[in-house]
Amino acid sequence: MGSTTTGRFALAGVGALVLAGCGGLYVSPLAPPPYRAEVPAAYERTWTALVRALARENVPLRAIARDSGVIASDDFVAPIGVYADCGRIGDDRLEGEALATFTIFVERDGRATQVQINAKMRTQAHRKGTSGTLRSTPVYQCASTGRFEANLLDAVRDLVRD
């Protein structure tokens, strides 16, 4: 009786390994360093332009502290592949929607202003490649592509020129 039970467990274990091997390997994206840029304007002018640019992008804000130079966003939906890189499963990239949050640090630097943007992203609804329905599980960590940050700082630079 013991050998048949052991045999069944061994067979079930081999079956699980075979199915796990067919699932494909998940490759996560490499996280980039924080996005840093200099805005050629005074702190107050840059701060006002930054808040206006975030409002134009309809980014929900969780905290804003002008004295310490910190702005934190709430989660907002960002398209995978545009603002978020969520990696791949096997040869297929993950597609769909990611939840993104940003923390922005603004610092005086003489006549210019230094801005650093830290991003954190994770999948909300995704699929493997272009086929299939969107799924919410499992949740994968994503990395920023840098597009949102670059676009935001371009908008800030335009607003400080006006």
26-61 per-position pLDDT tens digit = 776 777 789 999 999 999 999 999 999 999 999 999
94-114 pLDDT tens trace: 899 999 999 999 999 989 999
Among 5-19, 20-34, 146-160, which is the least confidently predicted range? Answer: 5-19
CA angle, 8 as apex, 3 and 10 as ends, to 5°? 90
The CATH number of residue 78's host domain is: 3.30.530.50
**Residue 162 pLDDT:** 79
122: in domain:
yes
User: Would you state the pLDDT for residue 23?
Assistant: 54
Q: How many domains in the chain?
A: 1
Res 24: pLDDT: 66
Helices (H), 23-134: 43-56
Asked if residue 16 is part of any domain, the answer here is no
Listed range (2-11, 79-88, 130-139) with the worst mean pLDDT: 2-11
Q: Please, what is the angle between helix 147-161 and helix 43-56, to 10°? A: 120
Q: Comparing 160 with 27, which gets the higher pLDDT? A: 160
Q: Which residue range(s) make up the domain with 61?
A: 25-161
- In-domain check, residue 43: yes
Token pair in block for residue 150:
């670059």
Question: Distance between CA atoms of 59 and 74, rounded to whole angstroms?
Answer: 8
Q: Per-residue confidence at 21, pLDDT binned at 50, 70, 90?
A: very low
Higher pLDDT among residues 143 and 28, named by residue: 143
Task: Report if residue 87 sits inside a domain.
Answer: yes
Other Cβ atoms less than 10 A from the Cβ of 66: the count is: 13
In a domain, 38, yes or no: yes
Residue 8 lies in a domain: no
**Which pTM value belongs to this model?**
0.78
* pLDDT at position 133: 86
Signed CA dihedral, 118, 109, 70, 77: sign only: negative
The whole-number pLDDT of residue 27 equals 72
Backbone angles phi, psi at 96, to 5 degrees: 130, -135
- Residue 63, sorted as left (phi over 0), alpha (psi -120 to 50) or beta, turns out to be beta
Residue 129 has what pLDDT? 76
